[in-house]
Each structure stands twice: as structure tokens, then as C-alpha cells.
């Protein structure tokens, strides 16, 4: 779906063959000779997204450091001789920073809403306890 669409450019078939021959130092899946172009594209997309997420986890507040991390990954995956492959990889990895930030902000917003709800519930419980104590004093 979305991951394959990220790699839907005309360069994919040429660059996928380069990716196919690249070493995989980070333990990422590589394209294999028996894979179809779609399977290879999916493998590449998953590798880019997966390692980009690792880069984001390390550099969530520093986009420049994130981009450097992603660029290093792409260079290692593609090999230094294949700048087209590297460019394709980084052109898909770099925009993921903004997507990861959006997801993190949404998660933070949900967490803040949960904290606010818990605080409201705690306040309501405290008010009920105070009312009960007041009634007990009048007995």
C-alpha cells in the first residue's frame, strides 16, 4: 500500500537491481533474485521505513541528525557507487521525519487527553469523598 507507493518512481526498477546487489549491514532484508519488482519494492520500502524509524527514535528532536542517519543508512544499503539509489532512498526517508513527528504529536495529544481525563476523575472522586466526610461529621 503506502510503502510501495512511496517507491513508485520510474527509477525503481534500475535502483532496485542496485539495491539487490548491495550488502545489508543493518540486517535489513534485501531484494533477492527470485523476487518480483513489487516484492522488491515492498522490501525496500519496509527497510527504508524501518531504519528511518530507528533514526527518528535516536534523533526525534534533531531533523538534521535524522537526515544524516538516514543518509548513512541509504549509503550503506546502496553502496557508494550508486548515487541514484542513494538519492531515491534518501528522497523517501527524509520526508518520513515529518510523518513520525505527526504521529508522535498525535500520541502526545492522546496521552495529554488521558491525563486530563484521569485528573478530572480524580477531582470528582475527591469531591465525592469530601461530601461523604461532611455527611459523616453531621451524624
Residues 39-96: pLDDT tens digits?
878 888 888 999 999 999 999 999 999 999 999 999 888 887 788 888 889 999 999 9
**How far apart, in whole angstroms, are the C-alpha atoms of residue 48 and residue 52?**
6
What's the whole-model pTM score?
Answer: 0.59
Look up residue 70 and give its three cell numbers.
538516514
Each residue of 97-131: pLDDT tens digit?
Answer: 999 999 888 877 777 777 778 767 777 677 777 78
**How far apart, in whole angstroms, are the C-alpha atoms of residue 3 and residue 6?**
5
- What's the gap between Cα 44 and its chain centre? 15
Q: Where are the beta strands (DSSP E) in 1-139?
A: none
Amino acid at each position: 500500500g503506502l510503502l510501495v507507493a512511496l517507491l513508485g518512481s520510474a527509477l525503481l526498477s534500475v535502483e532496485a537491481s542496485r539495491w539487490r546487489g548491495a550488502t545489508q549491514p543493518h540486517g535489513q532484508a534485501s531484494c533477492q533474485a527470485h523476487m518480483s519488482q513489487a516484492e522488491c519494492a515492498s522490501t525496500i520500502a519496509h527497510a527504508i521505513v524501518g531504519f528511518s524509524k530507528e533514526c527518528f527514535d535516536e534523533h526525534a528532536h534533531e531533523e538534521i541528525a535524522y537526515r544524516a542517519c538516514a543518509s548513512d543508512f541509504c549509503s550503506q544499503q546502496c553502496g557508494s557507487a550508486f548515487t541514484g539509489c542513494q538519492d531515491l532512498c534518501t528522497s523517501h526517508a527524509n520526508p518520513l521525519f515529518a510523518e513520525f513527528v505527526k504521529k508522535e504529536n498525535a500520541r502526545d495529544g492522546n496521552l495529554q487527553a488521558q491525563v486530563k481525563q484521569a485528573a478530572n476523575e480524580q477531582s470528582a472522586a475527591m469531591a465525592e469523598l469530601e461530601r461523604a466526610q461532611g455527611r459523616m461529621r453531621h451524624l
